[in-house]
Amino acid sequence: MNFSTIVRKLSHPRVRRRLKIGLSIWAIAIIIGLTFKLAYDIGYFKAQSLIDAKNASTPANRPVLTMELAQRIVSGALMEDTGNPKTIVRQIINNDQKVSTIIIESNNQKKIAWIIDMRLFFSGDLFNNNGYNLTEALEQQYNIRDVNR
């Protein structure tokens, strides 16, 4: 088959019409595919920019309980003067973000206290999910005797 035979067969009107229809279908399929790809990329980049903006707005550091912050939380919860508090934070035992354990002293009497979520002060018995008294265990560990018991 030479070139002139191929040109003669392609010049037939029925073959031309079928070629136009076939090429049109392929062109439409390519355009639809590119449209979907472009829409996906735009949506992906928009979603990624929202994720990046959200990550940039959240602080990357974990809040740390310092002695000063613990003293302010305790004084604020007990409604004491922050400049001259009656209850003093002596030691931070466990510096956890959710539940921090501290030792407070009031009237020469030491107690175990808890700061929950870096803002809520709690002084009293705390039990774990197995029913063990964590306050009593820490009092024995740190040799703190509670007169009221």
H or E element, residue 17: helix 13-57
pLDDT tens sequence across 98-124: 889 999 999 889 999 999 988 888 888
Query: Under a CB-based contact definition with an 8 Å cutoff, are residues 93 and 137 in contact?
Result: no
Which residues lie below 8 Å from residue 63, measured CB to CB, with a gap of 6+? 97, 118
Q: Is the pLDDT of residue 148 over 60?
A: no
pLDDT tens sequence across 1-54: 687 888 888 888 888 899 999 999 999 999 999 999 999 998 888 888 888 888
User: How far is 103 from 78, CA to CA, in rounded Å?
Assistant: 15
pTM of the model: 0.57
